[in-house]
Amino acid sequence: MKRALLRAATVLAAALAIGAMTASSATASPLLQRFSVPSGDNCTYGLTEGQLEWSSYPARTVLVTGTIVDRPIQNDTIACRDDGRYTIAKFTAYGANRVVDEAAQRVDNGTLRFRFALDASLSAVAIDLVSIQVCRVVLPTVPTPGPVPPDYCGRTHFFSPAAITPRAAV
């Protein structure tokens, strides 16, 4: 009886140790999250797709990698006429409901690859939410001082890593 009880306790202790090691290695791995955000129009003139890589949760940095598309583009399966606008994707990082960093990518009639980090190192709070919105802006016919407001935008998409499983360790 003592031997069976000792064996059960040893198996339970080993299982708990393995579980703790798995949990600690999982939190150290980056969290990956895919995104695909359209401009919200009928032709899908603008679109950004890619991945958010959260360094941890909550994160001090989120690495953003992807592409932004503005139609028309050559050899595209979707036929959109040139509407005289460009596409801009806005990326905003939040911590404790405050903006801690933001970035934008812009392209006109083409595809652009990007890779940048949203960074909260200068903030007292970490990043716990990222929003992405794709807007369409009319190309100005004459130079304008300052930014041109968008004609229209798709809905804002929000991303939080709380329910993401970590990437397997390599």
Give residue limits of the domains in the chain.
30-162
pTM of the model as a whole: 0.75
Report the pLDDT value the prediction gives residue 141, as an integer from 0 to 100. 73
Report the pLDDT value the prediction gives residue 35, as an integer from 0 to 100. 97
What's the DSSP call for residue 59?
B
Report the pLDDT value the prediction gives residue 26, as an integer from 0 to 100. 42
Q: Judging by beta carbons within 10 Å of its beta carbon (0-12, 13-18, 19+), is residue 62 exposed, middle or buried?
A: buried
**Residue range 30-162 in CATH 2.60.40:** yes
Cα dihedral 74, 139, 67, 51 sign: negative
Mean pLDDT for each consecutive 10-residue tract of the chain (170 residues)?
44 38 47 95 94 88 97 88 94 96 96 97 91 93 73 95 56
Name the strand (E) or helix (H) holding 163.
none
Coil/strand/helix, residue 99? strand
Name the strand (E) or helix (H) holding 81.
none
Residue with tokens 């949760």: 57
Report the pLDDT value the prediction gives residue 27, as an integer from 0 to 100. 47
Rounded-to-integer distance, Cα 3 and Cα 6, Å: 5
Backbone angles phi, psi at 22, to 5 degrees: -65, -45
Report the pLDDT value the prediction gives residue 28, as an integer from 0 to 100. 52
Taking CA atoms, 146 is separated from 84, 140, 149, 150, in Å, by: 19, 12, 9, 13
Q: Could you tell me which residues come within 8 angstroms of residue 14 by beta carbon, excluding any fewer than 6 positions away?
A: none
Report the pLDDT value the prediction gives residue 86, as an integer from 0 to 100. 94
